[in-house]
Amino acid sequence: MPTVPASSQTSEGSSARRRVVLLGATGSIGSSALRVIASHRDRLELVGIAARTDWRKLAKIAREFSVPSVAIYDVAAFLEAGQQGAFPEGTRLMQGPAGLAELAALPCADVVLVAVVGTTGLEPALAAIAAGKDLALASKEILVLAGKFVMAEASRRGTRILPVDSEHNAVFQCIEGHSSSSVRRVILTASGGAFRDWPEERLLRATPADALKHPNWSMGPKITVDCATLANKGLELIEAQWLFGLRPEQCAAVIHPQSTVHCLVEFNDGAMLAQLSPPSMTFPIQHALLYPERARSVEPPLDFTQLMSLEFKPIDEGRYPMIRFARESMAAGGVAPAVFNAANEVAVEAFLRGRIPFLAIPKIVGHALDRTANFEPADLAAVLAADGDVRRCATLDVEILK
Ligand code: MG
């Protein structure tokens, strides 16, 4: 269960603004976070922003929100921004992975929202934990890769982890006030992605453009492809295991095409609690940034004066092998979840670049899992080494399957 250390409760109820560092400010989660911050300027203050390359957009945000500290991951983009004098005078500019980590540990920050693609956020997330910041976590790959070490470090430092992924934020809301021993199961909902109504033979010809047409959510390209394969739900099952201290068999998923119910938590007595809100990230982001305060939402809530139906159907693992790989990785433990994640990242990138067909994604991931001898990593370095090995082998698979 998420821990709420006494030290971080002292600011509750105070009128001071919470000072936010936003890593991934130019991405999809970043845009939603900016909407939340803009509409709660009396409660939230943006003190640091980071992005990979888009310095023009960063400069625009820095001006609009008077942000004093900025980090740019990509060296060439950092140099270009400097040459162009893109940022207001007095802005502190940082660069590279070290810059992101420094930003995450800014002495003036209260909460760090990590919303960068893939595992790039691991180092800054650990820096935020070490500096005692609240960590609002949107990048699920961090816990999939290194959940054991990140959660142990957070617990050792008494850092609060606030889930931002919509399903996990929903679970966090439903289990609040309940003991972990009273929870029987957590069920995450999955929209089914862009291809949920496609016949299987048509998947052979699915293009990146097809995969990026998500029926309900507007998100970045990597996660949208992950929704089409259901790898996203697999990663989320593993993420839930770490965030809420669950056993693998306590984490389940169900197809729910409307993306209105974000999770179901089943208790020992058979009662289930669900969390509902429209499919927009502003809801979970606001909950995490203002937690435990519940302020007015940026967007209108669900409207029950309109006809609404909620459907649920079991996941066909024959059609979605990635969910089976994720479940098996989670049950195997060790580095298996990291292998699943790394092979998937390589395969999805290759698919997005048009180098491999859609159905090669599960082939590459399945092959990586078969080939890798699983072991219990002694430290983070061992996980990162396994991650690197898998990426190299998966890259060779891309060459074979293209
Ligand atoms: Mg999600």
So what's the pLDDT on residue 97?
95
- The 10s digit of each residue's pLDDT in 225-235 is 999 999 999 99
CA 76 to ligand 1 centroid distance, Å: 32
Q: Is the pLDDT of residue 13 over 90?
A: no
CA 56 to ligand 1 centroid distance, Å: 28
When pLDDT is cut at 50, 70 and 90, the band that residue 15 belongs to is low
Residue 169 lies inside a defined structural domain of this protein: no
Q: Is the pLDDT of residue 300 over 50?
A: yes
CA 88 to ligand 1 centroid distance, Å: 35
CA 332 to ligand 1 centroid distance, Å: 23
CA 228 to ligand 1 centroid distance, Å: 13
When pLDDT is cut at 50, 70 and 90, the band that residue 10 belongs to is very low
CA 91 to ligand 1 centroid distance, Å: 34
Taking the C-alpha atoms of residue 97 and residue 240, their distance in angstroms, rounded to an integer, is 26
CA 307 to ligand 1 centroid distance, Å: 25
Q: Is the pLDDT of residue 53 over 50?
A: yes
Q: Which domain holds residue 39?
A: 6-164
- The 10s digit of each residue's pLDDT in 59-82 is 999 999 999 999 999 999 999 999
Residue 253 lies inside a defined structural domain of this protein: no
CA 190 to ligand 1 centroid distance, Å: 8
Contact between 369 and 328 (Cβ < 8 Å): yes
So what's the pLDDT on residue 142?
93
CA 346 to ligand 1 centroid distance, Å: 20
Taking the C-alpha atoms of residue 282 and residue 86, their distance in angstroms, rounded to an integer, is 28
CA 236 to ligand 1 centroid distance, Å: 7
Average pLDDT of every residue of the chain:
93
Residue 175 lies inside a defined structural domain of this protein: no
CA 247 to ligand 1 centroid distance, Å: 20
CA 164 to ligand 1 centroid distance, Å: 8
- The 10s digit of each residue's pLDDT in 319-333 is 999 999 999 999 999
So what's the pLDDT on residue 12?
44
What CATH number has the domain bearing residue 116?
3.40.50.720
CA 21 to ligand 1 centroid distance, Å: 21
Contacts 24+ apart (CB under 8 A), 61-67: 61/25, 61/26, 61/34, 62/87, 62/88, 62/91, 63/88, 65/34, 65/37, 65/38, 67/91
Residue 344 lies inside a defined structural domain of this protein: no
So what's the pLDDT on residue 214?
78
Residue 281 lies inside a defined structural domain of this protein: no
Contact between 253 and 323 (Cβ < 8 Å): yes
Q: Is the pLDDT of residue 194 over 70?
A: yes
pLDDT above 90 coverage of the chain, percent: 87
CA 10 to ligand 1 centroid distance, Å: 30
So what's the pLDDT on residue 212?
87
Average pLDDT, integer, range 233-250: 97
When pLDDT is cut at 50, 70 and 90, the band that residue 118 belongs to is confident
Average pLDDT, integer, range 269-279: 97
The total number of structural domains that make up the chain: 1
- The 10s digit of each residue's pLDDT in 23-46 is 999 999 999 999 999 999 999 999
When pLDDT is cut at 50, 70 and 90, the band that residue 119 belongs to is confident
Taking the C-alpha atoms of residue 392 and residue 389, their distance in angstroms, rounded to an integer, is 5
Q: Is the pLDDT of residue 3 over 70?
A: no
Of the two residues 217 and 172, the one the predictor is more confident about is: 172
Residue 272 lies inside a defined structural domain of this protein: no
So what's the pLDDT on residue 193?
87
Average pLDDT, integer, range 242-249: 96
Dihedral (Cα; 77, 83, 85, 87), 10-degree rounding: 20
First-residue to last-residue Cα distance in the chain: 43
CA 25 to ligand 1 centroid distance, Å: 18
Residue 27 lies inside a defined structural domain of this protein: yes
Residue 201 lies inside a defined structural domain of this protein: no
When computed from its CA atoms, the radius of gyration of the chain, rounded to whole angstroms, is: 20
Q: Is the pLDDT of residue 244 over 80?
A: yes
CA 237 to ligand 1 centroid distance, Å: 10
When pLDDT is cut at 50, 70 and 90, the band that residue 216 belongs to is confident
Contact between 253 and 315 (Cβ < 8 Å): yes
